[in-house]
A and B are shown apart, each in its own frame.
Chain A
Amino acid sequence: MQKKLLALLLSFALAATLLAGCSSSSGSATATPTAAPEATPTESTQLDHLTLQLKWIDHSQFMGYLVAKEKGYYEDEGIDIEILAGGSDIIPEQNVYNGVADIGVTWVSSLMTYQAQGYDLTEVAQMFQNSGLLLVSKKSSGINSPADLAGKKIGSWFGGNEYEVYALLEKYGLMDSVTMVQQDYTMDQVAEGSIDAASAMTYNELKLFYNEGFSEDEVNVIDMNEEGVAMLEDCLFCTNEWAEANHDLLVRFLRASIKGWKEALADTDAAGTLCYNYCGSISEAHQQYMAAEVAKLVAPEGFDTNKIGYIDMDAVQQTADYLVKYNKDLAATPVVDETTFNSTYWKEATGN
């Protein structure tokens, strides 16, 4: 009996080491099962490996990169791209700074809090020109204008997603008369009425709220852009050190990414379908909806699509100003200049 037990223990230990060995050797293959069709035998040129860390699960919010990857634009630029999905326990700034990823996608306000702490990170392109954040509520809650938020319960995901809401509340002098509540990943809280207004992105949660059975004329929406309290969201960033050491690679990455974005904007339905095939999230229709809404943020009406990724320093400054005002714990006032928001690489990539 004892021998059996010993055998069991030994086999456990052996299996553990074996499996650990297997898993580390087959590492990248399991991470991105879709990345198979690379390395054509005719092309023996070495591709540069580059890892992109997304802010959230992969879906049409990041369609530009997914299109560029699936259409081989990165490969055309000599890049072997690996795209890492985000998640609730993933912090892009940490992963880029730790070297798990080379380039990350995050919100500008979030990037600034890390920069203020001393993280040597720089933004290299601003993908979303407008804010996609909304406050949505049921018509029956009577929130027809921001002033009606007085005395209501408002949802936010927090962790840096609350500043625009605070700016809005301050604008209407409502800071002390509302209750802020954390939202989970669903839109159920506002649907069931446990909160009155919920944070929602134009390209995702708004539609999901409609999907819960509310028609457009049963829903009130407050748009942060219209209220003049918008802060910048999705941007690309990396460490200064990496950017300097990989100047050419970074330019090539931006060129391929922007090509992907341009193509996605030209046909958002196709981009949505591509994203759905890539990630399988929710439904094809939802990914197409998301693609169409994201397109409006990347290139708002009247925006020159040759300028995709342009860093508008005035908008960056406004983001910094709101951040200073509403994050009392900020380590230092954000620096807004070319050391933290560097357009050099983007200019080189686009010829602007």
Chain B
Amino acid sequence: MTAGKAGKVLWPLAVGVAFLAVWQLGGIHALLHFKPFQLPVPLTILETVIDNLPKMLSDTWITASGALTGMIIGSLLGFLVAVIATMFPKWGYPGLTLVSLFNAIPIVALSPIMNRWFDDGFGQKVGVVTVVCMATMAINSYRGLNDLRPFTLDLMDSYAAPGSAKFFKLRLPNSLPSIFTALKINIANGLIAAMISEYFASSTAGLGFSIKDNLRKAMMAKGWSCIVMAALVGMLLYSVLTLVERRAVKWHASQNK
């Protein structure tokens, strides 16, 4: 058990360290025929992060908090759409299709619209991330709420279980793995959406703004430091999510080895 748990951390870590070593020793640069100023090496990035720590942390906080808020609101809305589509299959189902429309509107277009609706960068970011996260949650949780094991619903019916019991005892637990799947996608999509929205936001803070500003000005080390921070946030959120997942859906097949 402990060996397995250690492996969960050690393996990814080992691969990460190996990758960083290859990168540091010029493997990637040799492959791409890149000069160090085109793509900084990990130690340079680390140095840059440490040198600019307060700014890095505040940028990270601004982006991550906006992304998280949007992820939560968007995921809740998406889940709500799925629940409505499940409870009222006849009248609710089109909502599921319509919410997926939003997935096709690019952030370049969403950002200026949200800029008009909200006059600060935070509101704009939350608005964009909310829209981006809705469809993923709606589609996945709908599948989870409805893709029940054969005869379970009939069994519930034979006990004359009320609708609320069917929902809370059967559908909701059944949808949990799908909800986690959606959350994993939303972590990645929400964070990157928050960053891209900052390209166009009425503010001068956040990882996205710094990435754009620095990469455009050839400050590769600073730009990539921000990318690394975003990647760390993504991995951290993912780790937290998998921990929660393991507790919440212990019973599910996906948690078996």
| Residues of chain B within 8 A of A317, CB atoms compared | none
Q: Are A159 and B38 in contact (CB under 8 A)?
A: no
In the assembled complex, the CB of A48 is this many whole angstroms from the nearest CB of chain B, namely 24
Chain A: CB-nearest residue to B199 = A88
With an 8 A cutoff between CB atoms, is A91 at the interface? yes
Size class of the A contact interface (CB-based, 8 Å): 20 to 34
With an 8 A cutoff between CB atoms, is B245 at the interface? no
A183 to B215, CA, bound (A): 18
Q: When A119-B37, A181-B202, A184-B200 are in contact, do A159 and B112 touch as well, CB less than 8 Å?
A: no
Q: Are B217 and A110 in contact (CB under 8 A)?
A: yes
A94 to B214, CA, bound (A): 13
Chain B: CB-nearest residue to A195 = B202
Q: Are A110 and B216 in contact (CB under 8 A)?
A: yes
With an 8 A cutoff between CB atoms, is B108 at the interface? yes
With an 8 A cutoff between CB atoms, is A281 at the interface? no
The size of the chain B interface, using a CB distance under 8 A, is: 26
Chain A 331-351, CB-CB to B under 8 Å as 1, else 0, gives 100000000000000000000
Q: Are A188 and B115 in contact (CB under 8 A)?
A: yes
| Residues of chain A within 8 A of B215, CB atoms compared | 91
Q: Are B218 and A117 in contact (CB under 8 A)?
A: yes
Q: Are B209 and A182 in contact (CB under 8 A)?
A: yes
| Residues of chain B within 8 A of A211, CB atoms compared | none
Q: Are B202 and A119 in contact (CB under 8 A)?
A: no
Q: Are B222 and A329 in contact (CB under 8 A)?
A: yes
Q: Tell me the chain A residues, 166-218 only, with Cβ under 8 Å from chain B.
A: 180-186, 188-189, 192, 194-195
With an 8 A cutoff between CB atoms, is A146 at the interface? no
| Residues of chain A within 8 A of B203, CB atoms compared | 181-182
With an 8 A cutoff between CB atoms, is B136 at the interface? no
| Residues of chain A within 8 A of B255, CB atoms compared | none
Q: Are A182 and B200 in contact (CB under 8 A)?
A: yes
Contact of B218 among A119, A181, A184, A195 (CB under 8 A): A119
In the assembled complex, the CB of A213 is this many whole angstroms from the nearest CB of chain B, namely 16
Q: Are A159 and B200 in contact (CB under 8 A)?
A: no
A97 to B213, CA, bound (A): 19
With an 8 A cutoff between CB atoms, is B119 at the interface? yes
Contact of A88 among B35, B108, B213 (CB under 8 A): B108
In the assembled complex, the CB of A330 is this many whole angstroms from the nearest CB of chain B, namely 9
| Residues of chain B within 8 A of A94, CB atoms compared | 38
| Residues of chain A within 8 A of B216, CB atoms compared | 91, 110, 158-160
Chain B: CB-nearest residue to A94 = B38
Q: Are B199 and A118 in contact (CB under 8 A)?
A: no
| Residues of chain B within 8 A of A195, CB atoms compared | 202
With an 8 A cutoff between CB atoms, is A23 at the interface? no
Q: Are A329 and B219 in contact (CB under 8 A)?
A: yes
| Residues of chain A within 8 A of B212, CB atoms compared | 158-159
With an 8 A cutoff between CB atoms, is A56 at the interface? no
In the assembled complex, the CB of A23 is this many whole angstroms from the nearest CB of chain B, namely 21
Q: Are B202 and A189 in contact (CB under 8 A)?
A: yes
With an 8 A cutoff between CB atoms, is A114 at the interface? yes
| Residues of chain B within 8 A of A93, CB atoms compared | 218
With an 8 A cutoff between CB atoms, is B141 at the interface? no
Chain B: CB-nearest residue to A99 = B33
Chain B 36-51, CB-CB to A under 8 Å as 1, else 0, gives 0110000000000000
Chain B: CB-nearest residue to A159 = B216
A181 to B112, CA, bound (A): 14
In the assembled complex, the CB of A38 is this many whole angstroms from the nearest CB of chain B, namely 31
With an 8 A cutoff between CB atoms, is B227 at the interface? no
B residues neighboring A (CB under 8 Å): 35, 37-38, 108, 111-112, 115-116, 119, 199-204, 209, 212-220, 222
| Other A-B pairs, 15, CB within 8 Å; known A119-B218, A159-B216 | A88-B199, A93-B218, A113-B217, A117-B218, A158-B212, A158-B216, A160-B217, A181-B204, A182-B201, A184-B111, A184-B202, A185-B112, A188-B115, A189-B202, A331-B218
